[in-house]
Amino acid sequence: MAQRLMLVSLLLPLLALLGSSPVEAAKKNKAGLWHSEYNKLTGRSSRNASPEFCVVVRTYWGHGRSGDGGLRRLLRSLQRQSVQSWEAVLLVLDSRPFEDLHHIVEEFQDDRIWVFAEWIDKQFTPKQGVEWAPGYHGTLYNLTDDAIQVCPPTTKWLVVTNGDNEYADNFMQLVRGVGPGADLVAVDFYSRFQRPTAPSCERFAAAPGLPACKRNRLRWCHTDLGANVIAYPRFVQENRRFGALADVSGGLGAEHFDGIMMQLLMASSWKVQHLHDTCPFNHAPSLQSCGWGGGVWDDRDIVSWATAGGRCISREEADSVLREDEEAEEVTVAASNDGNVTAYEGVKPEQMAVPCLRKKAYMSDGVLGVAVEWFNALCVDDVDLPAFREWQQLVDPAGAAAEAAALGGEGGDDAATAGTGELAARAAAIAAEAAARREAAGGEHEPEDFWALQAGFYQEEVPAGTAHQQQEQGDLAAAEQAAAQAVHQEEQQLEQQHHQRHEE
């Protein structure tokens, strides 16, 4: 009881601050109340007033001693950075206490690491069974937005990440080296969702012409929250908030807000610097980090909620699987990497030979076909597009032909990227709905919709070079221009009606 009362006493001033607006909270922070209101857990009074990087870390009990221990490794990866001008702001939102969080923070004895919020309540249960609980990620992103507001006002770069991820020791140095003018720095990264429509285990293999890790395309299904470094001054000045993306998410859950935010920033003409041919971020778990941690990668089922993208298991668990599952087999993967894995703590190149479990019938429709259908055209990697188109022609020739015809083509090898027609139709329908809502609301501005952005980005990535493809692109551009003109005309009509009502 005494511990519970103490926790309540610690949280009351925090809740009072979080109940105020971000602007009010920022004003209080500038008044010097950083530690008296927030940093109750460490009790430290010193603080770097002007770090170059502010790293917001979302964590929970599973990142501590009771889980994978990932938080300690993440924090060590920050301490190992060649650039030491950073601050780590930790937050917790869960129904189960993170009992050793206080001990972990104290272990590091680093004033740059502090706890912003620890919200523990039954209403913050992350999952219902194996699926995310409704509303959890929305609340988590709202709390993330509040944590972003308490980064020092002089912060140059913002990184938002999770407590089990990890950064190579040259990550911040690479960002610092991009030069002036960049608003957003994107890095490729190790991920369990690397080439998800390619054959099991082989999708992680190193080979000429294949990516070293997952390409960061700065859009949904091709990015991760922690793989993007955001210009903090512009982000704050434009009042960007992850928690406000529901209105433009096209029905996608809040767990996808990272990709949606990146697309919105690109649509707002943010200058992007993409760091190619390097993988300084590990989105855990990945096959690569599973290998350097001494585990076995389980790639038998990457579409179920409980094992989406695959999972890392122990040698003992793998041996048990091989005994009990007659359909399983083990292979060794020479894992793809950027040749700089030693930039991660304690990693040796020989650890990139990773044992991997898969189904013996891994090329069958029941395994590979299911993965291709599940991840679909939006998630396929560029190198896998030809195989995806071939698969689509085989399993649904009528649908593939209809999609090509909708784009004005004949199908076949010169067809545009699969899925573009469906997305364009979806974007057009939503644009019409948005115009109707604007008219009903008296002409109020509505942010650009996620699906419309997705269609635009996807169309841009269709390889040009043939007259057929160029015609398709021209048709879509003409349609988009016509739609924009229609919206503009509607806005002018609404403005005229507004003036008429005002004069009357």
- DSSP string covering 355-408, please? EEEEETTTTSIIIIIHHHHHHHHHH--GGGHHHHHHHHHHH-HHHHHHHHHHTT
pLDDT value at residue 435: 55
Residue 86 Rama label (left phi>0; alpha psi -120 to 50; beta): beta
Provide CB contacts within 8 A for 367, sequence distance 6+.
200, 358, 359, 361
Q: Can you give the pTM of this predicted structure? A: 0.75
Quote the CA–CA distance of 158 and 56 in Å, as a whole number.
8
- Would you say residue 245 has pLDDT above 60? yes
Give the residues across from 328 on adjacent strands.
359
Q: How far apart, in whole angstroms, are the C-alpha atoms of residue 283 and residue 426? A: 31
Please give the structure tokens belonging to residue 413.
């090898």
Burial class (CB in 10 A: 0-12, 13-18, 19+), 62: middle
Q: Residue 405 has what pLDDT?
A: 56
Dump pLDDT digits (tens) for 251-268: 888 888 999 999 999 989
* Highest-confidence segment of 56-65, 67-76, 77-86, 455-464: 77-86
Residue 231: how many CB atoms within 10 A of its CB?
20
Average pLDDT, the chain: 78
Q: At what angle do helices 450-460 and 257-267 cross, to 10 degrees?
A: 70
Q: What is the mean pLDDT of residues 283-302?
A: 96
Give the whole-angstrom CA distance, residue 161 versus residue 163.
7
Window from 1-15, 205-219, 302-316 with minimum mean pLDDT: 1-15
The answer for residues whose C-beta is within 8 angstroms of residue 188's C-beta and 6 or more apart is 211, 212, 213, 214, 215, 216, 227, 275, 276, 277, 278, 279, 281, 338
Residue 391 to residue 56: CA distance in whole angstroms: 41
Closest-CA residue to 48 (of 170, 146, 154)? 154
Radius of gyration of the chain (CA): 24
Q: Answer whether residue 383 shows pLDDT above 60.
A: yes
Lookup result for tokens 């190579």:
168
**Strands (DSSP E) along 7-125, which ranges?**
53-59, 86-94, 113-120
Mean pLDDT of 138-154: 94
CA atoms 21, 23, 26, 31: torsion sign: negative
Cβ contact 421:403 at 8 Å: yes
Going by C-beta distance under 8 Å and a sequence separation of 6 or more, which residues neighbour residue 206? 212, 334, 335, 336, 337, 352
Q: Work out the pLDDT band at 420, boundaries 50, 70, 90.
A: very low
> With 50 as the cut, is the pLDDT of residue 427 above it?
no
What pLDDT score was predicted for residue 495? 57
Q: Is the pLDDT at 332 greater than 70, yes or no?
A: yes
The Cα 100–Cα 97 span in angstroms is 9
The region of weakest confidence among 155-164, 205-214, 344-353, 397-406 is 397-406
Per cent of the chain over pLDDT 70 is 69
Assess contact for 310 and 287: CB atoms under 8 A: yes
Contact 243, 141 (CB under 8 A): yes
CA angle 343, 77, 213 (to 5 degrees): 50
- Strand duo 157-162 + 228-231: pairing: antiparallel
Give 50's pLDDT tier (boundaries 50, 70, 90): confident
Is residue 372 within 8 A of residue 419, CB to CB? The reply is: no
Lowest mean pLDDT among 15-19, 125-129, 220-224, 475-479: 15-19
Supply 243's token pair: 């928690």
